[in-house]
């Protein structure tokens, strides 16, 4: 099952568990979306090999899960990118969660054979329905915020803002 298929499945599960058969969009206060990307991950694979890269990805998932609730969903979205869905969260709280995850990760040393390494994480945050009309649009907006974090120095959590959009992107 691909990451996208797994994610779609998780959304369907959320819909089925919604009270009175309501749709996902109508049963929660806010869904917050966080896109995360390991900074300079390619260097891990290049310097230590893909086996160590796999260890780093697994530990990344563990560290991210330390910063979210049991009801939230963490998915490896592809490569070194992770997607976090914060279910039923108050508007504005997701950036606090993203910063918490960033700090957990920044303070961690990842154990690898023959030592440990330090990596950082960049995060982009958006909210549905607050930032966009569609859920998938809000995923794109979280990605836009993620790349703003990367473009402005990495190891940051940035909340999506409409000013980040240029006419070329949409």
- Say if strands 110-112 and 81-86 run parallel, antiparallel, or are unpaired: unpaired
Separation CA 37–CA 23 (nearest Å)? 30
Q: How far apart are the first and last CA of the chain?
A: 29
Instruction: At 98, give phi and psi (nearest 5°).
Output: -60, -45
Give the containing element (helix H, strand E) for 11.
Answer: helix 3-17
Task: Name which residue leads in pLDDT, 155 or 27.
Answer: 155
Span 71-106, pLDDT tens digits: 999 999 989 999 999 999 999 999 999 999 999 999
List residues with catalytic annotation: 80
User: Any idea of the CA torsion for 154, 30, 140, 122, to the nearest 10 degrees?
Assistant: 10
Domains and CATH numbers, the chain: 28-162 (3.30.70.270)
Residues 6+ apart with CB under 8 A from 124: 34, 35, 141, 142, 143, 144, 145, 146, 147, 148, 149, 157, 158, 160
For the cut 60, the answer to whether the pLDDT of residue 26 exceeds it is no
pLDDT confidence bin for 128, thresholds 50/70/90: very high
Mean pLDDT score of the chain = 87
Characterize 91-101 residue by residue with b for buried, 16 or more Cβ atoms within 10 angstroms of its Cβ, and e for exposed. eeebbebbbeb
- Say if strands 121-128 and 157-159 run parallel, antiparallel, or are unpaired: parallel
143 neighbors 124 (Cβ within 8 angstroms):
yes
């Amino acid at each position: 099952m691909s990451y996208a298929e797994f994610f779609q499945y998780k959304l369907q599960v959320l819909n089925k568990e919604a009270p009175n058969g309501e749709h996902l969009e109508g049963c929660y206060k806010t869904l917050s979306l966080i896109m995360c990307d390991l900074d300079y991950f390619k260097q891990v694979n290049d310097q230590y090999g893909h086996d160590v890269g796999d260890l780093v990805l697994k530990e990344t998932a563990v560290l991210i899960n330390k910063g979210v609730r049991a009801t939230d969903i963490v998915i490896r979205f592809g490569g070194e990118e992770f997607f976090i869905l914060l279910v039923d969260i108050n508007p504005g709280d997701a950036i606090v969660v993203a910063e918490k995850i960033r700090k957990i990760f920044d303070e961690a040393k990842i154990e690898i054979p023959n030592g440990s390494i330090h990596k950082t994480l960049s995060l982009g945050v958006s909210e549905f329905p607050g930032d966009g009309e569609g859920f998938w649009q809000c995923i794109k907006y979280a990605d836009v915020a993620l790349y703003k974090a990367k473009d402005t120095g990495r190891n940051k959590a940035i909340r999506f803002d409409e000013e980040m959009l240029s006419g070329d992107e949409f």
